[in-house]
Each structure stands twice: as structure tokens, then as C-alpha cells.
Structure 1
């Protein structure tokens, strides 16, 4: 005679099913949590930013009608490349104006770095730590899918295999750092770039006097593999928030005849902009929409196309400015003034290169 199992109590799952659900939940929690290095960083530094300012007595006496600063995201290991770039920027422009610098890092700056930057600059120096939640993978992103995307792109796309490149600090968080609260304009500076012309005027003052909100020096085309869904997600945003799109927008400049994204973008490693643009409800809503879509990590959306699409959507054409008279070299590309008189008087770049 066969012995039948007693029926399960109503509302209760069999023990095997309970164990299976527990295992699945544990796996989800394991893969959703930050990797060990991010957990350690959060414990070591806590939620507060490490901040330090080194002020120059002479800089405070310099009249500056515009509240502006240079903003630098750099590692300690980039000290020498950055020092060369800043010395050139000082020689070409800032030694006459003494604008301050904001240096940001996802790890504390070394004493050597801070001392070198203080010596290289004529303006006040502010050093800050990027908050943990501004430099981490959001919990809604599938880390396994993101890892597979990095592996697939590693051999074919610049920085395709890098997770740190995908941190969206430059797209959605830099302007929220407390060290920028006292400024209205920013000029982005990166290690290893060259400023190849003397700048005989104040670009910050020009932006303020002419109601410019975004300025660039180089435009390029993005690698299509890095932004496969960015345009469709952007169109979804436009449909959801039509009130955010400027009536005098320049999106047509970024579209093919078929209505697709043509991959053009402002190269954001040189960027002079009003922080009000990034702090606006329109930009913040756009970034949050993109962030939730996951493309920063599941593809490799960069800050350059994001800034470009936002400027095209939210700004009038008259609010965007091309700094054609600023000599700038970020290997392998450059912006070199083509006017022979201007070039000969102020520059050492070759406009025919």
C-alpha cells in the first residue's frame, strides 16, 4: 500500500520551495550590493565629503565680477600631467585673473598633490572628495548585464571595458558638489591638455555679458556602439516632458535626414558653462530619466553626448557659444584659431595640422 503525503497546510509553501526562494533572494542581494572596494570606501570615508581649501591672500583682493571657477576631476597619479596643463592655463589666462580651482577626486588627494596645485595656481584651491553615492552603480542597474556589456565593448570601443569611465559624475552630479555652491560658471580642465593661445579677454565675463549658457571648443562624432539607445530614450523623454523642450531648440543640428541621431557632440573635456544650465529642472529631469534607463552602465553613454543633447533641447541657439579663438589641444584633437593675425599674435598651434 502506498503512503500518501499529507496535504500542505493552506497558505504554506513546501519546504523545498521556501529554500529555493531564499537562495534566489540571497543571489539577488549578492549581485545587487556594491563590490567590496566600494563597500570599503563607503566605510572608510563615510557619507561626508573630505574638503580642504587653501586660500591665496592676493586672490581675494582681485576684483572678479563673475562667480566662476575651474573644475578638475583628477587622480593623484595624474599630478604631473595636470600640473603641466594648469601652468599653461595660468600663463595664458589666469595669472591675470586669479580665478579659483575646485579639485575633485573619488579618493582623498595626497599632500603632494595639494601642495603642487597650490604652487602651480594663482587662485584659491579647494579640494573635495566625490560623495560615494555620486560615484557608484545605482541599485536598479543589473550588474551582470553591465559586466557583459563591458566585456563585449572592451576590444572595440575606447574605454569600453572600463566601469569607472561609466560613473556618471560628469553627467549628473558634479554641479551638485557643495564646493560649487558659491559659483555661477565653471570651466572644465583635464590633465594632459594644452592651452596653445594667450587668452586676451575673460571667457567667464563674456559668457555672463552675452547671456551664454554653454561654450565649447571642439565637436566630434560619438562611437555609435556606445549610445545605441540614447536617442530613443531622449525621444521618450521629449514625449513625456514636452514642456521642458525649448521652442527655439537646435535638435535638428543633431539629426540625420531620417530623424536619427547623427552622433555629433561637443567634446566636453573643454567646457565653459553656466551652472544654472545643469542645475535647471529641465536638465535634472533629463539626467534622472537617463539614469533610470541604465544606459550609462548597460551601454557607455558619455557625458559629452548627454550635455550636447541637453543643450540642444533646453537652450536657444543664441545661448550656445563656440570658442574658436581659444587654442586647445587634447590629443589627438585640437582647436586652433585660423585667423592668421590672431594666430600669429597669440598662439603657438598650427591651424593647418
Structure 2
């Protein structure tokens, strides 16, 4: 082989080797750069994943908070819509789970009377040998009604009670009268509080017979009793306390109510004082708000003015005795007002009693000619006695 050919081949091999080294160097550089790029991307993806998870968690709690607020907003306006669109009575028929009926027990039948006489008693708890038992006194009062009320024993008796009477307390009561007697347990509604009220944290401004017991009693006579299914068959309700007493002979007061087309028979007028019941006068503010909101025309201006006569007093009818035409309590406007008061929680916050609340209800919705007065009718009565 000639020298020139060897030289040419060597140069060719050198060029190929140079090119190969160059390609290998490029490949190596590309590999390491790609590796670093992938590692960088991996780190970035990892950080991006953590950031995404954090954002999702924040978004979840934010959405939950907004959802909760929106629900409360909707619920509030839903209640307003229900009140506005209500065409007839919204009194729910709360079914009583446990009722003892005298006539059913004796296997007798009789149609319900037009009205009924109502008592509310709290059954004693704890050691029966030590606790006060209200049923013997109740038997005595029912015996007096049997003798003194001139209705020929035709008016039914309903005894609403918490807890349960013993058989030895129940039987003497049904034996002392010819009337139909029903014992109705109200534990399922009596101890309820309005939504949003915390009975543990709050303390009452006034209490008697336990922390909230008196407030529950007020709430029962102002609102809950009218929701019970058992009373929907009656036209009139005559309320008496177990320490009330009819004195002398009374006529059939239900016939008097019907004759005069009266909606209410009132007991004597009394007052509640702000210095005894702090917050009682705030019921005026609530009443004005309700009137303005619903554009109410007051039916009894003189009676309504009495609510504002004295700065530190709220008037009431002493409703340990009262007779109510139940059709009045089923009116839409009356049901709405009762619901409005209930939502304010004033009964539990300030011990707004059923007596002043009934007085205000009458002032708003009943003409003076539709209210009869026990004293004007010459009906003698005492409480407590």
C-alpha cells in the first residue's frame, strides 16, 4: 500500500473517531441534562401535588362554611315564606302517645262534648313516700266541679300530665265524676325548648319549681296545648289549675259563651312587673315589630293601649281560669303571632308568661264585645285555695 493511501485512510479513521467522540459527548450531555430535567420536573410535580392537596382541603372547608351559611339563610327565609303563604290554620296535630280514657276503661261510649275542662299537673318524681302528690287535691277539685258547674256533668275532663299517676291516684278521680275523663301524657312536647336555645348555659331571669319548669308550663298553655290532636274535636276549652276553685253554683258557662258568640271569658285583670320579671316589658317591642311587619290592624285599641300605659308593668288576665273558643286559636293570624313569639324565645329568655301573652293576643285580634268577664257575670272563684 502506498504511503499516500495509508495517510488518507488514517485521516479518514481520525475523522470518524472524532465524529464518534463528538456524538458520544453529545449523547452524554443530553442524557445528563435530561436526567437533571426529569429530576427537576419530579420535584416540581411533587411540590405541585402537595400544593394541590392543600388547595383542595381549603376549598372543602370554605365550601362547607358557605354551604352552612346558605342553609341557615334558606331556612330562615323558608319560615317567612311558610308564614306568608299560609292560607289556613297551621296548628299541627301532635299525636299523644299515651292516653287513658275512663269510658274506654269502663267499656262505655259517648260522643265528645262541645267543650272540655283542662288541667295540667306534674306527676311527682323520686321517692313517692316523700314527694308531693298532686292527684288527691285534683280529685277534690273535680268533685267540687261535679257539684257546682251546672252542665249536668256533660263536659269532658282532660288531665294533661307529665310523668304518670299511680293506679291508686287515677281510679279515685274517674270514680268521683260522671264525666268522661282522659289522662293525656305530654312529656313528648312539654320539655321542648325553642330552636337555638341552650338550657344548660343560660340561666333563667326568674324560676320556680326547678330551673325551667315554670317556663315550660307557660309555653304549654300559650302554644303547645293548641297543637295537640286530642283537643281538635272540641269548640271550647276551659282551663283550671289544680289549686283553682269554683265558688257557689255556676251556670253552664259554655252555653253562655255560645249565646254571646264570645271568643274568650276572662278572669280578673292583673299585672306583671319589670322589677320582678326582668325583660317582661320587651314583649312590647316584639309586638310592635309584628304589627309593622304584618300590617296588623289592632282590633281592641283600648285594651292594646293598656299594654303601654305604665312603663314598668304589663297587664294580663289571670288565666288560671279562662274559657277560649278554640276556633279563635286556629286562625291564621293568631297562629302566626304565636309562632312569632315562639321564635323570639322570649318565654324562656325573659319568662314571658302565658297570661300577658294571651292578653296581647286578645288585644290584637279580638273585639271588646267578644270578651266576657267572669266578675261581670257574677261567677265567684278563688285561686289559690
* Short-chain TM bin: 0.7 to 0.9
Distance 1:153 1:53, change over 3 A: closer
Is 1:196 the equivalent of 2:241?
no
The 5 Å alignment of 1:1-353 reads 9-12=54-57, 48-55=96-103, 60=110, 67-76=114-123, 77-94=133-150, 96-130=152-186, 132-144=188-200, 147-148=202-203, 150=204, 152-154=205-207, 159=208, 162-167=211-216, 168-199=219-250, 201-224=251-274, 225-226=277-278, 227-243=280-296, 245-246=298-299, 250-256=303-309, 262-324=313-375, 325-331=378-384
User: Cα deviations across residues 126-172 of structure 1 (Å, max 9, x unaligned)?
Assistant: 11121523431123213355x32x2x535xxxx39630111111110
Do the aligned residues in 2 keep the contact of 1:217 with 1:328 (CA within 8 Å)?
A: no
Unaligned runs of 5+ in 1: 1-5, 22-46, 333-353
Distance 1:80 1:266 in 2: 28
| Deviation of 1:240 (Å) | 1.3
Distance 1:311 1:59 in 2: 36
| Deviation of 1:91 (Å) | 1.2
- SS class of match (1:186): strand
**TM-score normalised by structure 1 residue count:** 0.72
Do the aligned residues in 1 keep the contact of 2:118 with 2:237 (CA within 8 Å)?
A: yes
| Deviation of 1:216 (Å) | 1.5
- SS class of match (2:101): strand
Q: In the comparison of the two structures, how many residue pairs are matched? A: 287
Which structure is higher in helix share? Answer: 2
Do the aligned residues in 2 keep the contact of 1:244 with 1:282 (CA within 8 Å)?
A: no
User: Cα deviations across residues 44-102 of structure 1 (Å, max 9, x unaligned)?
Assistant: xxx752012112899949xx9x6011011113321122122221121111573431101
Distance 1:160 1:249 in 2: 36
- Which runs of at least 4 in structure 1 moved beyond 6 Å after TM superposition? 56-59
- SS class of match (1:246): coil
Distance 1:57 1:272, change over 3 A: farther
Distance 1:261 1:185, change over 3 A: farther
Unaligned runs of 5+ in 2: 1-49, 66-94, 124-132
Match of 2:11 in 1: none
Bigger Cα Rg: 2
Do the aligned residues in 2 keep the contact of 1:188 with 1:269 (CA within 8 Å)?
A: yes
My pick for the range that moved more, 130-139 or 184-193, is 130-139
- SS class of match (1:143): coil
| Deviation of 1:279 (Å) | 1.6
Distance 1:111 1:178, change over 3 A: farther
Distance 1:130 1:113 in 2: 18
Match of 2:45 in 1: none
- SS class of match (1:174): helix
Distance 1:54 1:280, change over 3 A: same
Do the aligned residues in 2 keep the contact of 1:249 with 1:313 (CA within 8 Å)?
A: no
**TM-score normalised by structure 2 residue count:** 0.67
Distance 1:75 1:279, change over 3 A: same
Distance 2:287 2:143 in 1: 39
